[in-house]
Structure 1
Amino acid sequence: MDLYEKIKELASQKNVSIRQVEENLGFANGTIRQWGRKNPGVNKVKDVAKYFNVSVDYLLGLDEDESTTQTVDLAELANKPKDFDWDSVLSVGGKPIPEEDKEIIRRLFAHKLSD
């Protein structure tokens, strides 16, 4: 299965179209469809992998295990310093969480570590 076919399968599992994936990632219409014929840039492949929470190796057929799921403890995250890079561990639909939403998470979960 090539890169495009894997992305198509992942999109189907997530009940989104290829076009919706492109829109969510800020890609031009037809970008991913072209990947069946030509090689994409590495940054775009990384973006797709992050969007579907799979490894780049899985998308490229180098690894059969698609899961890169890691548990994120919101209480632990909420108690990190404000300059912590949340985008490295948490996103919504493959996009960074807005600052106002991060603040809501901080308020909801801060200091819950002792509970």
Structure 2
Amino acid sequence: MSDFSKRLSALREQKGWTKTYVAKQIGLTSMQTYANYEYGRREPDFETTKKLANLFNVSTDYLLGRTAPDEDRNTADLADDDTIFTFEGKPIPEQDLEYMKRLLRGGRK
């Protein structure tokens, strides 16, 4: 059984969902097709993999065994000076950004 199959099965079981439920949610007409993903007999195409990741709220990298669950989503650290924060497509002015950082820290500098 591949990492993909194991993770897919574990995620479904954690949610308490049936194979039929998952198959319907991602638009498959046959539960057996989805079951074959869990059994490692078949692999989904890219689009189906994306649908599964969205359904289970994980990244495709996680499903493919490349990351741990806590590394799953990309996050930006406010301390990273290379990150450009925007609002409505415009860069946030430095003074506003400093104010937002203080708010997020609970008022501390």
Q: TM-score scaled to structure 1, two decimals?
A: 0.53
How much is the aligned-residue C-alpha RMSD, in angstroms?
2.2
User: Following the alignment from structure 1 to structure 2, what is the Cα–Cα distance between the partners of residues 5 and 33?
Assistant: 12
User: Following the alignment from structure 2 to structure 1, what is the Cα–Cα distance between the partners of residues 10 and 74?
Assistant: 18
Query: Could you tell me which residue of structure 2 aligns to residue 34 of structure 1?
Result: 36
Contact kept in structure 1, 2:49 and 2:60, CA below 8 Å? yes
Unaligned runs of 5+ in 1: 71-79, 81-115
Query: Could you tell me which residue of structure 1 aligns to residue 10 of structure 2?
Result: 9
What does 1:52-63 align with in structure 2 at a 5 Å threshold?
52-63=56-67
What does 1:1-115 align with in structure 2 at a 5 Å threshold?
1-27=2-28, 28-35=30-37, 36-65=40-69, 67-68=72-73
Contact kept in structure 2, 1:4 and 1:33, CA below 8 Å? no
Which one has more relative contact order, counting CA pairs under 8 Å at least 6 apart?
1
Give the drift of 1:60: 0.3
Letter in 1 for 2:34: I
User: Following the alignment from structure 1 to structure 2, what is the Cα–Cα distance between the partners of residues 3 and 44?
Assistant: 13
Q: TM-score scaled to structure 2, two decimals?
A: 0.56
Q: Percent identity over the alignment?
A: 30
